[in-house]
Structure 1
């Protein structure tokens, strides 16, 4: 928590120090692992008839090299011995760091690399120190359109100043394509003076987030961190497994906060998630509240129709542009992360819809409906490999929008709008036989929000809500209505009434997938009995003059509405949990 707060409060002040541990999940060997492998291969070539010579050489690369060649093992010597030409060396090293073919899913940026890249894009991280030879960090940044300024020791004199670069990656031990890498014990003893000066400057002027670095072999780097006397900003040390003695010494010296028992992926994805949450509390409401104030000012003025449309369309466009494989993966254990991000990305739009539909007199009904039409397209965006629950969740922004507009219509006493909201626009699933569905069917929360919602919405003690989708949506949508409906009980009543009416319209369609929007309105305290409660209230309202009928719902047929009501009663009796 302290780390996220400091990174958020002081953007650009914390540098990241990455060791081999961050790349392990990608399948790339550590630098020392590559030395062992190369020495093993040289040993086999040097003495092909001796059994186990490769394993013996890998166990003590420096000793074997000294015994065989009478000289200390150096990385450049090792490469020259393994591959005598520049092209051969490039090909040899590429095999350790690059995918072998298009089907090779390894050697890709990890979740940690991608989370750091997104923190860079947000402006939270501007300097990365790394002991790694690979280019996974560079690739993660390039995937989201950022060209990093990469610095190795021979570039330092001409490098762009740190303050003038969006992100600087300082490769302390070189790049795999360089001959002059630092990879053996002797090579890691001391840095060139220019690199040492740059490193000392970063360590002095920036806070430090250490991850994936054991501190066992990199003696020059350990000495540089030890030599940093002042700590202007705190040091954080992510650790998974046993901490080495040099690392313990550095942690003690600098009173570093140890984040123990977390992988690099967990550390940085959690950090990004927490920084996002802090952003929602600070920056977003300012822009959001300004947009809502503009909308309220424009609504009564017929001359401002274009401005109103632009305001809503721009808010939708921000959501549409944010949805992609990078921010919203369609595979993996990311349900909780994705559903939280969707809500954050939709925040401004939901506030606009709550206020807009409530204050509108029907003039902009086509605009409100276009919101759903555009959000529906997210379900067809960049669909390749996917899990069903994450592909369906692409409709979650549309669910949030339709609930917000439906609740606003109920509070604003313009329920006739629901006849249109829940019947248009039709949508055709991409993985289907082309059968068209109406919003009352395809935006049913139980079809969009999977059972994984219990991971993020539960009463605790191992229990679950009977209607978790309903409970989750009611809690997530309370904030946009704070001004429109300050009273919590009145908001709750409007929420349940909308769910009830949407359920009636869903079962009326007689579509094969039609079912009630099962929600907490089924509970005894809301549904009611005799003449009291929501169900008796709506039953009394159904007549030829019911606003929903007059607006076209149930094909203007009161008997058809009563039939839908009876089906809902039967559904409740069959599925009554109490």
Structure 2
């Protein structure tokens, strides 16, 4: 990682809310939004066409000579449209997406806008200064449930909420495209009002500055505001893509700014968010946090008087994970995550975030006497519910990975402790509802659905592409540590893991295949590593030994409380296993 980006990450993480952003047209460029000057030139070309003349090679020179005045938005729009509504509609065409734009992803919030919105949501950024007229930032923030306070004119400045009381304040220095008073010509951006200068002076004095997408070349009043500020409370970081202008170099020297060469705003802000969240995750998952959480559950289980505390504690832990899983870094449309490296990275992120809740719920499974079973079902139903419903299929399905880990860990612990009610709570009871009615989560919570298609071979495991069941083998390793306290013997752990995967397939046959009258597909069920481990000596396997005595499972409600139905499912599953070829 670039040392300066690391320095910026640490500064932002250590000082949330003390850095302001200064964004120029380069940030919105990837969205297909034209710069203010490009719009001026295009408007001049439209006027020239109406006049039956060519404005090239210098549209602004043609305009001055033709009309004897400097081109600005108000005058240009007045020449092209008669009413205020028509003028607004003309400007909106440059900033608001058409149906075709939406299909092509243009004039929509970019990765940079979305990352900035996440930084705001998490409290790292509260002030945004921008020379842009568009509303992409506002849209990205609204997607995060944030309504920013926007200052885009003298009128809004006078009635603005003090930024100290605002979750997010956006100062649109040159106006908003829906207001035809926007500034763009050299004369218009040469001087700001006393009120705007006063606001800028306070912000530049009190906050550090992260600059991106701004050349510093044309905006005289903004340059002067930066040069007026003599304090250096926090570092200024200047991110740039191409060469720095002479004006930018002058400001950098004056502010003693750190310069960061970037490939573009999208990658810069996405990486910034990613690194900050990784740092936050490391702190939230302090080595002591999981043992303390486990000790807390044990204490609360020990006495009835802690019942309410246990409820609040487990509910809070579930909500924490749900909140983390809703983060934009798990966006299912992220192209960087559909490579093998990006996919493995996302797997690891899910594991880090899930480890405390897994340990909490396995502790509950092992020590609970049956009073708190519903928390297990509740946890799987809430964690499994996808936060993003559209995008790349492999990423949409991978959202179920944390719930799959909980299912495996608690299911195996339930078998080890002979708490079959708890096994039912994670394997059979979790349900979800869609337009077709209620369904068993088990239909989606298996390795073949979560690791869809060939990405099973992408799991971060040596020689995964050569294994029959790489995803099952990988989960075997991942949940070994949190289950060690309850299953210290390796052979015993392996046996219960295999029994659980067999039962998962057996129950899948029952509730998804044989119990679905509309299912006309051939019989299929998820197969774990148990089959490849015991296929040559199945009769002596711990799996076969376990299922010889299904009475307790049937009595608790598995297989419709019918031994005959259990036998039918077992025979069907075993026949399917025999048909599997290498």
Distance in 2, Cα, partners of 1:278 & 1:517: 37
Distance in 2, Cα, partners of 1:61 & 1:417: 78
Distance 1:331 1:464, change over 3 A: farther
What TM-score do the two structures reach when normalised by structure 2?
A: 0.78
The aligned runs of 1:57-456 (5 Å cut-off) are 59-83=57-81, 85-100=83-98, 104=102, 106-152=106-152, 154=154, 155-156=156-157, 159-225=160-226, 231-247=232-248, 250-251=251-252, 254-261=256-263, 263-283=264-284, 292-302=294-304, 304-305=306-307, 307-317=309-319, 329=331, 331-333=333-335, 336=343, 343=351, 346=354, 348-375=356-383, 378=385, 383=389, 385-410=390-415, 412-414=416-418, 416-417=420-421, 420-421=424-425, 423-425=427-429, 427=431, 430=434, 439=442, 442-450=444-452
**For residue 518 of structure 1, what is the aligned residue in structure 2?**
528
In the alignment, is the contact (CA less than 8 A) between 2:115 and 2:270 conserved in 1? yes
Q: Which moves more between the two structures, 8-17 or 282-291?
A: 282-291
Give ranges in structure 2 of 5+ residues lacking alignment. Answer: 1-5, 515-521
Distance 1:560 1:438, change over 3 A: farther
RMSD: 4.4
In the alignment, is the contact (CA less than 8 A) between 1:120 and 1:126 conserved in 2? yes
Distance in 2, Cα, partners of 1:502 & 1:173: 65
Distance in 2, Cα, partners of 1:178 & 1:561: 68
In the alignment, is the contact (CA less than 8 A) between 2:262 and 2:268 conserved in 1? no
Shift of 1:539: 4.8
Shift of 1:14: 1.5
In the alignment, is the contact (CA less than 8 A) between 1:429 and 1:436 conserved in 2? yes
In the alignment, is the contact (CA less than 8 A) between 2:293 and 2:360 conserved in 1? yes
The aligned runs of 1:14-53 (5 Å cut-off) are 14-45=19-50, 47-48=51-52, 50=53, 53=54
Q: Which moves more between the two structures, 28-37 or 224-233?
A: 224-233
Shift of 1:415: 6.3
In the alignment, is the contact (CA less than 8 A) between 2:461 and 2:474 conserved in 1? no
Shift of 1:518: 3.3
Distance 1:229 1:350, change over 3 A: same
Q: Deviations for 1:255-295, whole angstroms, at most 9, x for unmatched residues?
A: 4141422x322222222222222222224668877654443
Shift of 1:137: 1.2
Distance 1:453 1:388, change over 3 A: closer
Q: Deviations for 1:152-208, whole angstroms, at most 9, x for unmatched residues?
A: 462556644433322111112121233332212333334344433433443343222
Shift of 1:297: 1.9
Distance 1:164 1:360, change over 3 A: same
Shift of 1:364: 3.1
Give ranges in structure 1 of 5+ residues lacking alignment. Answer: none
Q: Deviations for 1:321-355, whole angstroms, at most 9, x for unmatched residues?
A: 77769676554535648756655665553232122
Shift of 1:374: 4.6
Counterpart selection for 2:10 from 5, 8, 30:
5
Distance 1:227 1:474, change over 3 A: farther
Distance in 2, Cα, partners of 1:535 & 1:94: 74
Matched residue of 1:282: which SS?
helix
Distance 1:281 1:127, change over 3 A: same
